Amino acid sequence: MAGYFCGSTRKNSAEYEALPSISPVDSWEAESLLLEQKLRAFGICRALGRLWRTTVFVAALFVTTFLVLYAYQSSGLAFVDLFDGNGNSTESATKWVDELSTLVSPAMCHSHNDYLRPHPLFTALTAGCASVEADVWLSKDGKDLLVAHHWWSLSSSRTLRSLYIDPLVQILDSMNSPYSEIDPDSTRQAFGVFARSPETPLILYIDVKDDPATTWPVVLEQLKPLRDRRYLSRHEKMPSWTTNQSFWPGPITVVGTGNIGKRRDVNIGNDPERWHQHHDVFLDAPLDLLNKPGLCRKNDSSCMEIQENEFYTASVSLWSTLGSVFGGFSQSQLKIMRAQIQAAKDLNLLSRYWELPSWPVSYRNYVWRVITREGVDLLNADDVVSAARRYWVSDYMRDVALHGSHLARVLGLVLLYRTGETILGPFANVVEGGIAEDGQVDIQLLHEPRPDLHEKKRSGQTELIVCVRVSQESMQALMVASDVGAQEWLLLLFAIS
C-alpha cells in the first residue's frame, strides 16, 4: 500500500493517471480527481510516517523501561530503599534504630559518593556498608560545609551536618542512651551504629574538594558534637597508663581524603605537640606510595615523615596503578596489587582501590572477586547492596576466552612460512584451554600443518601451537612453531582489543 501511494514508480502507472478528457467539463473533472488522489496519497504517506515514528518511539520506551527496571531490580536497591518519605530526618534515624539495625550485619564495603543516593547514609547502612563518603565544599560565608561532587550542584540544604553528623549523633545517642553516663576518662568504647555488631566502627570519609587550609578547620569544628560524646576514634597517649596503646577505636572513624591529603601540615595544625598527644581525625594515604619516603613520588626534603596514627586507610585508583584489567589481571598486575595490600597491612592501614568498573556486571563481579581474594580491606562500590551481599557470580573470564577463540577464527590466524615465496594458511581449531587460579586464561589452538604449506616436511615438526593469553592490555593471539632449522618462520601478533 505504501509503495503504491508513495512509491516513485506511480507516475507512469495506468491505474493512477486520469484518462484523457474529451471535453472541458470532463477535463475539469479529471483535474479534480487527480488533485483528490494526490491529497489522499499525501495524507496516507503522512499517516504511515506517523505510525512508523510512533511505533519506534513506543518500542524504545518499552525497552528503556525494561532496562531501567532490570538494572534497579538486579542491583538490589529495590529491597533496600526503606526510607521513602523520610529522607535523613529524625524519623529515618528512629526507623534505623528501632526497626532495621538489629537486622543488618556490617560488611567492609565503601559507599562511593554516598551523598548521591536517594537517602544518603541510610541506604548504605541498610545495605550493611561500614564506610561512607561525603565530598565537602566551604560555603561562601565560610561557616558551613556543603556536600556535592561539583561546585555547580551545591545546595544550602545539603550540608555535612544535615546529611551525616546530626543523624549519626541521633543514632549513637539512642544506641548509647544515656550518653552522659560515659566517663570522659574511661577507655570503654561506645556502641556503634550496627546493633548486631556494636564494636564495628563506621568509617566516614570526608573528601575536601576545595582549599583545605580554609575548609579543614571547619570540618574539625563541625565534628564537635561527635567529639564531645567520645564517639570518634582517636589517637591519645595516656602517660598514667602502663599500656603502650595509642589508638582508641570509637563508633565513628573520620578519614580525610581529597585535597587534605596534599596538605598534611594543615591536618596537624599549628600545635604539633598537642596533635601528637591527641587527635581524632585521620588521613587516607596513597596506597601506591607507601614504600616511598614521606609518601612522596620524588625524594624531596619538604616531604614529611609518617607520624604515629596519622593515617587510617590507604587508597589508590585501580586504573592509575594497574592499568586496564579488561582482559583479566596479569601476573605482573597481581604482583603489584599484592605488594601494595601487604604494605598497607604492615602499617596497620585498611587498603582500598577506587575507580573500579561498574559495568558490565560480570566484569565488575570478576574484579571484585579478585581484589577481595587478594585481601583488599574496603570494597569501593556504587552498587552497595551487591557489594555487601558478596554473591558475585561471574563467568567473565570464560566469556573472554570464548570470545577470544571466536575472534581468532574470524580473523584467521595466519602463519607465514617462507620458502622462497609467501604462503598463507589460516588455522584456528580450539582443542585445549583452561583458566588458572590467578584468573589468567590460556587457550591452546592446535593444528596439524597442512601439507600444501611445506615444500619439504622436516622430521619432528608435527604440530603448530597457537596460544591465546589474556594479558594486561589485551588478548593476544600468538603463534608458536617448533624449530625448523635453517628455514625461517615469521611471527604474527594479533592484538584483539
Instruction: Look over the chain and give the mean of its residue pLDDT values, rounded to a whole number.
Output: 75
Report the pLDDT value the prediction gives residue 58, as an integer from 0 to 100.
81
- Tell me, yes or no, whether 123 lies in a domain: yes
DSSP state letters, 283-322? EEEEGGGTTSGGG-SS--TTPPPPPTT-EEEEEEEHHHHH
Residues 259 and 405 grouped into a single domain: no
Bond into 360 cis (ω within 30): yes
pLDDT for 437 beyond 80: no
Number of other CB atoms surrounding residue 415 within 10 Å: 21
What distance in Å separates the CA atoms of residue 231 and residue 201, rounded to the nearest whole number?
10
Q: If we measure between CA atoms, which residue out of 356, 330, 393, 255 comes closest to residue 338?
A: 330
| Banded pLDDT at 426 (limits 50, 70, 90) | very low
The residue among 60 and 69 whose pLDDT is bigger is: 60
Residues 373 and 275 grouped into a single domain: yes
Cell of 300: 624531596
| Banded pLDDT at 23 (limits 50, 70, 90) | low
- Tell me, yes or no, whether 295 lies in a domain: no
Mean pLDDT of 289-305: 76
Domain count, the chain: 3
pLDDT for 293 beyond 60: yes
Residue 183 three-state SS? coil
Task: Indicate the residue among 18, 35, 67 that finishes a domain.
Answer: 67
Residue 473 region, left (φ>0) first, then alpha (ψ -120 to 50), else beta? alpha
Compute the CA torsion angle 33, 39, 43, 49 (nearest 10 deg). 120
Residues 115 and 49 grouped into a single domain: no
- Tell me, yes or no, whether 380 lies in a domain: yes
Residues 322 and 388 grouped into a single domain: yes
DSSP state letters, 185-226? T--PPPP-S-TTSTTPPEEEEEEE-S-HHHHHHHHHHHTHHH
pLDDT for 355 beyond 70: yes
Residues 374 and 478 grouped into a single domain: no
Residue 406 three-state SS? helix
* pLDDT tens by residue, 130-156: 999 999 999 999 999 999 999 999 999
Q: Mean pLDDT lowest for which of 90-104, 195-209, 339-353, 447-461?
A: 447-461
Give residue 253's domain range: 86-180+189-287+305-394
- Tell me, yes or no, whether 72 lies in a domain: no
pLDDT for 28 beyond 90: no
Residues 326 and 372 grouped into a single domain: yes
Mean pLDDT of 44-57: 76
Percent share of the chain, pLDDT over 90: 48
Residues 257 and 279 grouped into a single domain: yes
pLDDT for 11 beyond 90: no
- Tell me, yes or no, whether 81 lies in a domain: no
Residues 166 and 223 grouped into a single domain: yes
Residues 453 and 388 grouped into a single domain: no
In order of 445, 453, 460, 463, the CA distances from 457 in angstroms are 21, 9, 9, 11
CATH number for the domain spanning 342: value is 3.20.20
Residues 231 and 373 grouped into a single domain: yes
Largest interatomic CA distance in the chain: 125
Report the pLDDT value the prediction gives residue 361, as an integer from 0 to 100.
87
Report the pLDDT value the prediction gives residue 42, as an integer from 0 to 100.
62
Residues 360 and 231 grouped into a single domain: yes
Map grid coordinates 594479558 to a residue. 471
pLDDT for 446 beyond 50: no
Cell of 215: 575548609
The residue among 50 and 186 whose pLDDT is bigger is: 50
- Tell me, yes or no, whether 37 lies in a domain: yes
- Tell me, yes or no, whether 131 lies in a domain: yes
- Helices (H) and strands (E) in the chain — how many of each? 15, 20
Residues 272 and 382 grouped into a single domain: yes
Contacts of 473 (CB under 8 A, 6+ apart): 323, 324, 327, 495, 497
What distance in Å separates the CA atoms of residue 354 and residue 9, rounded to the nearest whole number?
62
Percent share of the chain, pLDDT over 70: 61
Report the pLDDT value the prediction gives residue 2, as an integer from 0 to 100.
46
Q: Mean pLDDT lowest for which of 55-69, 145-159, 239-253?
A: 55-69
